[in-house]
Amino acid sequence: MDTEPQFFETNPKAGVVGQPLDRVEGRDKVTGKAKYSAEFNALPGLVHAVLKTSDVAKGRITGFDTSAALKQPGVLAILTHQNLPKLAKTPNDAEGKKAIGAPMGFMPLTSDQIHYAGQPVAIVVADTLERAQYAAALLKVQVAAEKPLASYEDPRAELFDPTKVQDGKTPAHTVRGNAQAAFAAAPLQLTHKYTHAINHHNPMEPGATTAHWEAPDRLTVYDATQGVTRTQKALSTMLGLPTEQVRVVTKFIGGGFGCKGSSWPHTILTVQAAKAVGRPVKLSLTRPQMFTGMGHREDQTQTLKVGATQDGKLTALIHEKTSTTSPWDNYAEPNSKIINMLYACENFESSYQLARANVMTSTFTRAPGEAPGSFAIECSLDDLAYQIGIDPIEIRLRNYAEKDPSTGQPWSSKSLKQCYARGAELFGWSKRNPKAGATRDGRLLVGWGMATASYPVHNSQGTARARLYADGHAVVQAGATDLGTGTYTVMTQVAADALGLPMDKVRFELGDTRLPTAPNSGGSVAAGTVSSSVYMAVQDVWQKLIKVAVLDKKSPLYRAKPADVEVKQGRLQLKGNPQKGEEFGALMKRAEMTDVEGNGQGRYGSGYEDAQAAANADPTKKDEAAHHSMHSFGAHFCEVKVDPELGTVRVTRWVSVHGAGRILNAKTARSQIIGGSIFGIGAALMEGTVRDPNYARYTNASLADYHIPVNADIPDMTVEFVEEHDPYINAMGVKGIGEISMVGVSAAVANAVFHATGKRIRSLPITPDKVLETKAVQV
């Protein structure tokens, strides 16, 4: 495009955007004032629901014995497929699934079929939670059980070749160049298998829904969801109600990590239960139910073939993934995407194979695709570096992609070289002994590993509203959600700067479908989309006031051309003569305006670039080459200490450096990167859900047995951002940091373990048994 697009210029020293400010909602959270979705307890007549789930993974319900349960005091209803009113639409067919936006092509309690262990089979409603739980325990479900299939690893599993994976979003086959021929001709050939355990999101706040029918056809739902609009669409479609008659509210979320990114069965079941008993109903999933209620990262094996020249230049990448999916959906997280774009390589091919098993549908989980995909490519790159005897950073620089290999497009911005350099400097990488298994700290083996991170800027858009009051305060709103990562805070900062008001004069409201529509907090899109929506809404406020000013005889700006007026720190003034102007408050009081409202639409990703191109560029010159590939990049550096006798691996130092566009709040951003990296360390070293091969039921569905890192597992972590100015992605230059922090982490840890021990462990998590049982290789 001919002119650089509009970019919100703020002075980080004068303004609050970028400053490491405390969370605006922090006090409410720590004092208990913040209301989560299961805490709307003052609703009149609120009662409690408990899900009864299936013990077996496959079979048919032949009946229920409700006699003992119904006799219990306080029990209001036991709802099953036999007595639950039919939904207007279910996801049980492809059309319904699409219309609903359902994550799973199956709705429990619509038939007698049992397809997975933990599948809801009944809802029990009672006046207290304890009575509902007790009645649910007394409810007997009669089942004709069949032998289930647990995973793609079962010899009975039938692998098939889907045409698309990830709910039809990703083609199952990608071919670029001729990877097979290039691999066959490559002087260096690596073929390795990588396996990844099942991971569960395990947010502290479980899935929770409070449903309140305010009228027979009007509903308010307080739901733990990453997107109120998506949940509203799902519920209204299933219920056959006009969208606007379903209100969804999510004021606070205790973590989601993808599992709250879709509307899962418990939410509509709670709504149906509330309808059935004619009272508001609240339901929280139990911790065990969190393992079979809101999806997971699927069990999977990747095979990655790498062809390279003698000096380590990639010539071919062939990626195959095999994973387990549900009886209905072709879901696989898209691991191949990052392998296709991370390094310069002319020839690429990827394919996916699936096997149906008696499991629920897996779903986006903490950097879906990029996290396990990066494990494969980043370990193989490390292998290649050792094979030709060069530094792991050097192998990455030799294959540095100057443009996106998967599309041929130039990058909108890419600071990866700076990330490598700064990360290496902070870590002291130059002091690394290149030899594996050669560094010791007493009995312990010391290893240093690194890996590249990247995450795409997905296309998204949303809206926001800003209302500025003459007395100098403002309320800014968007129907976004705050996963706990800082949306409330950063949007307050953006609005405060745009309005020229102090932080405490701006209130940002979110989490309600009555507010302007915003996207899901997922795919790292929220910060980029909502910040530009807020910014655009404030610009609309100023444009409205400028129009008032130029028509007001008493204004210094009377009869000025609106285009000649600018707003700086809340003062309307002439661009050429800043002395000529006035504060918005004076103007509004004179005009007897109590407030002025602005609305804005924010775009993020390719849609923003398209809109800018359309607005700014010569349309005759517009072509594909003007489009950019948009990604964040980063680098992780990790030190581990491995006990060679006991097989234990502990991360002892950590450095992450990312280039992710404008950082809206240095403190919340740092926290977010730390949290995401800890996820990654968890996946690398300890997280894994085990599905029994015969019963297709999890054997460790608790936080005692599904290990996530504890404080003692995590060292001090150094996090920095490279300053990056990206004018193509949105009005704020914000790329978003929701997932990038996890990408590459497991590889950095595995590479450090290899450097420590000479043992290449390609199966996550890297637990002591694998460290002991893997043989060291000589390099």
Catalytic residues: 739
- Least distance between another protein and beta carbon 707 (Å): 5
The interface region with another protein, picked from 383-391, 453-461, 656-664, 705-713 by CB under 8 A, is 705-713
| CA distance linking residue 579 with residue 557, whole number of Å | 11
| Nearer CB in complex with another protein: 615/703 | 703
- Rounded-to-integer distance, Cα 755 and Cα 306, Å: 20
Backbone angles phi, psi at 448, to 5 degrees: -115, 130
Pairing between β-strand 47-53 and β-strand 281-284 as defined by DSSP bridges? parallel
Strand 595-604 to 460-469 pairing: antiparallel
In 545-627 the beta strands, taken as DSSP E runs, fall at 565-568, 571-574, 581-583, 595-604
Spatial neighbors of 126 by CB under 8 A, at least 6 apart, are 47, 48, 50, 72, 74, 75, 76, 132, 135
- In the complex, least distance from residue 710 CB atom to another protein, rounded to whole angstroms: 5
φ, ψ at 376 (rounded to 5°)? -70, -55
Cα 757 versus chain centre, distance: 34
- Least distance in angstroms from the C-beta of 276 to another protein: 25
Closest listed residue to residue 689, CA positions, set 300, 330, 424 = 300
Select the residue interacting with another protein from 387, 700, 718, 763 (CB under 8 A): 700
Stretch that binds another protein, among 313-321, 642-650, 670-678, 719-727 (CB under 8 A): 642-650
Closer residue to another protein, CB minimum distance, 240 or 288: 288
What distance lies between CA 640 and its chain's CA centroid? 27
For residue 759, the minimal CB distance to another protein (Å) is 13
CB of 769 to another protein, least distance (A): 4
- Report the alpha-carbon distance of residue 554 to residue 432 in Å, rounded: 71
Spell out, one character per residue from 669 to 688, where the chain touches another protein: x when CB under 8 A holds, - when not: ----------------xx--
Task: Give the Cβ contact number of residue 411 at 10 Å.
Answer: 19
Instruction: Identify which of residues 81 and 707 has a Cβ nearer to another protein in the complex.
Output: 707
692 binds another protein (CB under 8 A): yes
DSSP string, 479-531: B----SSSHHHHHHHHHHHHHT--GGGEEEE-SBTTSPB---S-TT-HHHHHH
Q: Binding of another protein at residue 690 (CB under 8 A)?
A: yes
User: Is 4 or 146 the residue whose CB approaches another protein more closely?
Assistant: 146
Q: Give residues with Cβ within 8 angstroms of 685, minimum separation 6.
A: 649, 651, 709, 713, 749, 765, 766, 767
CB of 712 to another protein, least distance (A): 4
Q: Shortest distance, CB of residue 134 to another protein, whole angstroms?
A: 6
**Span from 88-96, 105-113, 220-228, 768-776 in contact with another protein (CB under 8 A):** 768-776
For another protein, the binding residue among 32, 769, 775, 778 (CB under 8 A) is 769
Report the residue number, 616 or 702, with the smaller CB distance to another protein: 702
Specify the residue, 14 or 704, whose C-beta has the smaller distance to another protein: 704
Q: Which is nearer to another protein, 150 or 674 (CB)?
A: 150
User: What are the backbone dihedrals phi and psi of residue 397, each rounded to the nearest 5 degrees, phi first?
Assistant: -70, -35
**Burial of 388 by CB count in 10 Å (0-12 exposed, 13-18 middle, 19+ buried)?**
middle
Query: In the complex with another protein, which residue's Cβ is closer, 650 or 667?
Result: 650
- State yes or no: residue 702 binds another protein (CB under 8 A): yes
- Dihedrals phi, psi of 47, to nearest 5 degrees: -125, 175
Q: Does 575 contact another protein by CB under 8 A?
A: no
> Which has the closest alpha carbon to 343: 308, 388, 372?
308
Number of residues in contact with another protein under rule CB under 8 A: 40
705 binding another protein? (CB under 8 A): yes
Q: How far is the CB of 9 from another protein (least distance, A)?
A: 46
% helix, strand, coil for the chain, step of 5:
30, 25, 45
Alpha carbon dihedral 673, 196, 296, 30, in 10-degree steps, equals: -30
Q: Which of 2, 22, 95, 130 contacts another protein by CB under 8 A?
A: 130
229 vs 689, beta carbon nearer another protein? 689
Task: Specify which residues 301 forms β-bridges with.
Answer: 195, 322
Contact at 8 Å (CB) between 357 and 154?
A: yes
Could you say whether residue 310 binds another protein (CB under 8 A)?
Answer: no
Compute the half-sphere exposure of residue 435: CA atoms within 13 Å on the CB side of its CA.
5
Least CB distance to another protein at residue 758 (A): 18
Structure tokens at 592: 């007897």
> How many other C-beta atoms lie within 10 A of the C-beta of residue 507?
16
Taking the least distance from each CB to another protein, the nearer of 9 and 769 is 769
Instruction: Give yes or no for residue 56 binding another protein (CB under 8 A).
Output: yes
* 95 forms part of the interface with another protein (CB under 8 A): no
Q: What is residue 40's three-state secondary structure? A: coil
694 binds another protein (CB under 8 A): yes
End-to-end Cα spacing for the chain: 50
**646 interacts with another protein by CB under 8 A:** yes
Between β-strands 717-721 and 581-583, what pairing exists: parallel, antiparallel or unpaired? unpaired
Please, what is the minimum distance in Å from the beta carbon of residue 104 to another protein? 21
CA 494, CA 166: separation in Å to the nearest integer? 34
Interface with another protein, residue 647, by CB under 8 A: yes
Residues 478 and 654: beta-carbon distance below 8 Å = no
From CA 76, how far away is CA 263, in angstroms rounded? 25
Examine residue 693 and tell whether it contacts another protein (CB under 8 A): yes
Region binding another protein by CB under 8 A among candidate stretches 179-187, 383-391, 533-541, 711-719: 711-719
Does position 773 interact with another protein (CB under 8 A)? The reply is yes
Q: Which stretch binds another protein (CB under 8 A): 244-252, 375-383, 618-626, 708-716?
A: 708-716
The verdict on 483 binding another protein (CB under 8 A) reads no
Given 710, 716, 775, 778, the residue binding another protein (CB under 8 A)? 710
To another protein, the closest distance from the beta carbon of 437 in angstroms equals 17
Q: Does residue 417 interact with another protein by CB under 8 A?
A: no
Task: Return the range that interacts with another protein (CB under 8 A); candidates 167-175, 417-425, 610-618, 702-710.
Answer: 702-710
Beta strand pairing status for 314-325 and 348-356? parallel
Helix ranges, 139-227 (H): 179-185
Q: Is residue 137 at the binding interface for another protein, with CB under 8 A as the rule?
A: yes
Phi, psi of 241 (to 5 degrees): -105, 150
| Shorter beta-carbon distance to another protein: residue 55 or 720 | 55
Binding to another protein by CB under 8 A, coded x per residue (else -) over 649-668, reads -x------------------
Which residue's entry shows tokens 């790159």?
Answer: 381
Closest CA to 117 of 691, 700, 704: 691
Instruction: Check: CB of residue 349 under 8 Å from CB of residue 174.
Output: yes
Least gap, CB of 143 to another protein (angstroms): 11
Q: Does 697 bind another protein (CB under 8 A)?
A: yes
What span, in angstroms and rounded, lies between the C-alpha atoms of 639 and 530? Answer: 37
Q: Enter the tokens of residue 429.
A: 């990488």
* 767 binds another protein, rule: CB under 8 A: yes
Q: Write the CA distances from 602 to 41, 151, 460, 516, integer angstroms.
A: 35, 43, 9, 11
Binds another protein (CB under 8 A): choice among 28, 39, 55, 153: 55
Show the binding pattern over residues 276-295: x = contacts another protein (CB under 8 A), - = does not: ------------x-------
Q: Is 687 or 724 the residue whose CB approaches another protein more closely?
A: 687
Per-residue tokens: 159? 């692998």
Instruction: Note whether 707 binds another protein by CB under 8 A.
Output: yes
Smallest distance, Å, CB 628 to another protein? 42
Window contacting another protein (CB under 8 A); options: 168-176, 199-207, 744-752, 767-775? 767-775
Chain residues binding another protein by CB under 8 A are 55-56, 117, 130, 133-134, 137, 288, 645-648, 650, 685-686, 690, 692-695, 697-702, 704-705, 707, 709-713, 765, 767-769, 772-773
